[in-house]
Amino acid sequence: MHRLLLALPFALLPLAAQAHEHDHDHEHGSLAAHEHGVARLNAALDGKTLELELESPAMNLVGFEHAARSDADKAKVAGVRASLEQPLALFDLPAQAGCRVSAQELESPLFGDHDHDKADDHAHEHEHSDIHAHYQLECATPSALESLDLAPLFKQFPATQKIQVQLIGPNGQQGAELTPSSPRLSF
């Protein structure tokens, strides 16, 4: 399934105005992809498995991109990480679908869980920091997944002005730009 998400940007290339290549050696994507106020969400439903992959500039979620030095900055980063560790509170999925988190992975230089072996990676960390969250959900009744509502995510992180969504579901593939005033996408 993870391969499906990696292929998603290429499958939806005609739908995406700004497709970018995902490079595992450079977790931030391309510089052009880093736009404050804008996040990306890839979603794929395959059988009972729903995968969600959120990528956002740290500015949208934390309010800054530099390494947390002060106690206030460290508390803000810890609070954002705690929120991201609760995906069912951020992505409003129908309760009838019976989705539960089976796996999740959070990555960001701000979380202090990356080794930066290359000097240029370390320098880049101070220019732009992104937060990448990957969730795998198992849904007991996937047919009940009629929509994905991002209103709670927009409410939790108000600096996020729009989310570019690419979705593969039972009705095919689609792309959309969701905003706080239009936060829902049908599967």
Q: How confident is the model at residue 52 (pLDDT cuts 50, 70, 90)?
A: very high
Per-residue buried b or exposed e for 139-150, using 16+ beta carbons within 10 Å of the residue's own CB: beebeebeebeb
Chain centroid, CA 179 distance in Å: 15
Q: CA 93, CA 137: separation in Å to the nearest integer?
A: 11
Please check whether residue 58 is in contact with residue 76, taking contact to mean a CB–CB distance below 8 angstroms.
Answer: no
* pLDDT tens profile 140-187: 999 999 889 999 999 999 999 999 999 999 889 999 999 999 999 988
Whole-model pTM: value is 0.77
